[in-house]
Structure 1
Amino acid sequence: MKAVILSAGQGKRLLPLTEEVPKCLLPVGVDMHVLDWQLSQLAAAGVEEAVVVTGFQADKVEHELQRPRPGITARSLFNPLYGVADNLSSVFAALGEMTSDVLLMNGDTLFDAPVVKGLVDAPAAPIRVMVSRKDAYDVDDMKVRLDGERLMDVGKSLDAETVDAESIGMMLFRDSGVARFRDAVTAAMRAESGMRVWYLSVIDALAKETEITTAEVRQDEWCEVDFPVDLRRAREAVARWSAGSAGELASVASP
């Protein structure tokens, strides 16, 4: 299993923290930044290869990826359009990496290893999007409408009163879903609006043409880093997940 991580953005809503440091290198633990945590949890879930799409301060990310990491190999792929286009361009830059089953995720999504394991081990589906429910949704949430487990709509502009969940920025493509997504991304980038749209706009359009399945994760099993307050929450979440993992290891080791 290969993961593609979209980490090209600067994270301007986190300024001044991201003035010289990309969002994916912000610290979330002792000697651990966002990308460190993502790669460690992917490895713990059995993902053996990760391709990190870079852009802002790419050299700093590339330097970090030179360090060997247990259980996973990681390398970078530069998106030259990161400063003038939205994240669809990062997916387009990585299409050459999407030739077989692939996990696609945002560079600011943090999670515990069981989240990835649950997605990978779910019944096979061409496209499966991870979603999470909560009591209320705001304008910045990537909201979704569902029909059972089927994804019907996804977008930030959906009426918050009519949505069922939000996308956490993680999805898995298998078999025919890989080629279907590649073709849809290519067509979207050729369109006049291609430089201005999110890759989830492609998922929304595909949901109108073919069945896209979802898997669900609890709110306490993931978080994202968009604003300074999110960084504090992310650090708390990583500390909680780390403590949980340590407790599980201690339990297994006990006679």
Structure 2
Amino acid sequence: MKAVILAAGIGSRLSRPFPKSLSVLPYGETILGRQLRILRELGVNEIIIVVGFKMTLIMEQFPEVYYRYNPNYYITNTSKSLLCAIGDLDDDILWMNGDVVFDKAILKEVLDSRQDNLICVDTKNCGEEEVKYNLGSEGYVSEISKEVVDAKGEAVGINFIRRQDIPTFCKALGECDDNDYFEKGMEFIIERGVRFKPVDISVHDCIEVDFEEDWISAQKTFKTAG
């Protein structure tokens, strides 16, 4: 299994002069550093970071991982960054956005449930900007986008897909528009019969840092390495 972290974006909504994954938590670890440490503590050592915006800042700080470069990071979204990473891979893939701060227990639960494709979800009320999800009659994810009506909650940006579904997923990511999030590719393959099981992580702390208020919340929540 390989892990992919998407850290190519400019992060315009947070307005930092550096990649927001390098924002430093109160105890001194960056968001990205925390992600890498947790992955390694759980035995995941093959890690790919997709970079773009001010990539050397990330690469110099974390020289021990693999990198993929999205040369169009300033005009494309996460669907294309993810495709940059997995287009030629033949392995199970755990992937996450590079701005998600989370408890270690969340990844442990994902790694313990790898017989299915997985989407980590939080069953909470969601605003307009959150990626939301809904479930079908058999309990698998039936919809995933910002436009889901009567959503069950939020998809938090941590996901897992088995190697046999990678070719279908890559084809779908290629069909996405440049400004689409990777969830659009997931929607495409769900429509084609690929199933994703929701992993409810609501009892754990997990914050995707999009806006300043998210960062304030993350600083209050993650005061220790944990």
Report the counterpart of residue 4 of structure 2 in structure 1.
Answer: 4
**How far has the Cα of 1:151 moved from its partner?**
0.5
1:21-100 equivalent positions in 2, closer than 5 A? 21-66=18-63, 73-96=64-87, 98-100=89-91
Report the counterpart of residue 216 of structure 1 in structure 2.
Answer: 200
Alignment partners' CA distance in 2, 1:151 and 1:23: 29
Q: Given that residues 88 and 185 in structure 1 are in contact (C-alpha distance below 8 angstroms), is that contact kept between their aligned partners in structure 2?
A: yes
Alignment partners' CA distance in 1, 2:27 and 2:214: 17
- Code of the aligned partner of 2:213: V
User: Over residues 55-93 of structure 1, what are the superposed CA-to-partner deviations in whole Å (9 max), with x where a residue is unaligned?
Assistant: 111111111112xxxxxx523221101001111110121
Report the counterpart of residue 165 of structure 2 in structure 1.
Answer: 177
Structure with higher helix content: 1
1:198 partnered with 2:186: no
The number of equivalent residue pairs is 224
Alignment partners' CA distance in 1, 2:152 and 2:88: 32
Report the counterpart of residue 157 of structure 1 in structure 2.
Answer: 147
* Higher relative contact order (CA closer than 8 Å, sequence separation 6+): 2
1:144 partnered with 2:144: no
Report the counterpart of residue 226 of structure 1 in structure 2.
Answer: 210
- Code of the aligned partner of 1:146: L
User: Over residues 97-127 of structure 1, what are the superposed CA-to-partner deviations in whole Å (9 max), with x where a residue is unaligned?
Assistant: 63201101111111111111101111501x2
Q: Given that residues 49 and 67 in structure 2 are in contact (C-alpha distance below 8 angstroms), is that contact kept between their aligned partners in structure 1?
A: yes
Report which of the two structures shows the higher radius of gyration computed on alpha carbons. Answer: 1
**How far has the Cα of 1:139 moved from its partner?**
0.2
**How far has the Cα of 1:133 moved from its partner?**
0.5
**How far has the Cα of 1:219 moved from its partner?**
5.6
Cα RMSD of the aligned pairs, angstroms, is 1.7
Alignment partners' CA distance in 1, 2:208 and 2:78: 16
Q: Given that residues 106 and 169 in structure 1 are in contact (C-alpha distance below 8 angstroms), is that contact kept between their aligned partners in structure 2?
A: yes
Which 5+ residue runs of structure 2 have no aligned equivalent?
none
User: Normalized against structure 2, the TM-score is what?
Assistant: 0.92
User: Among 102, 110, 124, which residue is 2:115 paired with?
Assistant: 124
Q: Given that residues 132 and 145 in structure 2 are in contact (C-alpha distance below 8 angstroms), is that contact kept between their aligned partners in structure 1?
A: yes
Give percent identity, aligned residues only.
Answer: 25
User: Over residues 152-182 of structure 1, what are the superposed CA-to-partner deviations in whole Å (9 max), with x where a residue is unaligned?
Assistant: 00110122xx111211111111131222212
Q: Given that residues 132 and 217 in structure 1 are in contact (C-alpha distance below 8 angstroms), is that contact kept between their aligned partners in structure 2?
A: yes
Q: Given that residues 28 and 34 in structure 1 are in contact (C-alpha distance below 8 angstroms), is that contact kept between their aligned partners in structure 2?
A: yes
**How far has the Cα of 1:223 moved from its partner?**
0.8
Q: Runs in 1 of length 4+ with deviation above 3 angstroms?
A: none
Q: Given that residues 93 and 163 in structure 2 are in contact (C-alpha distance below 8 angstroms), is that contact kept between their aligned partners in structure 1?
A: no
Residue 219 to residue 97, structure 1, CA distance change in 2 (3 Å): farther
Which 5+ residue runs of structure 1 have no aligned equivalent?
67-72, 246-255
